[in-house]
Amino acid sequence: MNSIYDNILRKSREVNSLENEVEELGIFKFKQKKYLNERIEELKMKLMNLKNQSFIKRT
């Protein structure tokens, strides 16, 4: 009987650990996605500025 209880307890701890790990990965992915989106916007602005500068130089 103890063995069944120990197995249940072990599996329960494993599930909790995996749930925590999944949550941490979700937070990390959110932060990474936010950073990448900010970086994309910065690059778009730089590209737009370069296009404007080249247009001004041509005129």
Read off φ and ψ for residue 7, nearest 5 degrees: -65, -45
Mean pLDDT of 25-45: 93
Residue 1 has pLDDT above 70, yes or no: no
d(CA 59, CA 55): 6
Model confidence over 5-31: pLDDT tens digits? Answer: 888 999 999 999 999 999 999 988 999
Q: Which of 24, 2, 20 is nearest to 10 (CA)?
A: 2
Q: Which amino acid is at 48?
A: M
Q: What is the reported pTM?
A: 0.60
